[in-house]
Amino acid sequence: MNSIRNEISTLATELIAKLQGDVDLIADLLTPLPALVVGKLLGSTPSDIPDLIRWAHAVNGLYEKGGKISEDKALHAEAMLNEMRAFVTELVEARRRAKASGTLIGDEDVLSSLVAQEEETLSDQELLSTVVSLFVAGHETTTHLLGNGLLAILKEPHILEDARKAPELIPLIVE
C-alpha cells in the first residue's frame, strides 16, 4: 500500500474535485475510491471499475436477509459472479502469458504476485476465488468503513472543530 500511497492520494483528490452540488458521498466518493485502489492492486484498469462494483454488489446481495433472498436475486448474483470470474480469468491468463515470456516479475500487482507463485500454492480455482474474494471483500468493507467513520465524525461536530484547530490530530482521527 505504501508503494501506491501517492497514487491513492491523487485518485482521492481527483474524485473530490469532481464533487459538485448535491452529492452522494457513498456513490460518488466512498465506493469508487476503494474500488479503484483494490482494482489497481488486483491488476484491473479504471475502466473496469463500474463492472467490478456491479459484480461486487450482486455477489454481496447473496448475504442480505441472512442469505434468504429471492430466487431471481440469487440467479442474478450467480450470473454476475460468472461474469466476474470470466473477467478475472482473462487477467490471470494475461499474467500467465507474461510469466511464460519472462516479462512478469511478480511485484507489479497482487494478481501478478499470486500468478508468480501459483504452481507452488494455488490451484486455478483457488486463485480465481482468492482474487474475486479480495475484490468483493476489499472494496465493499472499505466503503462501509469509510461511510460509517464519516457518519461517526459528523455526529460529533467537535471532532471536526478539533481537527481544524489542530491539524496534527487528523491522523489520529482517521485512525
> Residue 153: in which H helix or E strand, if any?
helix 124-155
pTM: predicted TM-score of the whole model, two decimal places:
0.80
Given this model, what pLDDT does residue 148 score?
94
Residue 152: pLDDT band (50, 70, 90) is: very high
Confidence band (pLDDT; 50, 70, 90) for 167?
Answer: very high
How do residues 29-77 score in pLDDT, each as one tens digit? 999 999 999 988 888 888 999 999 999 888 888 877 777 888 898 899 8
Let me know: does 11 contact 36? Beta carbons within 8 Å: yes
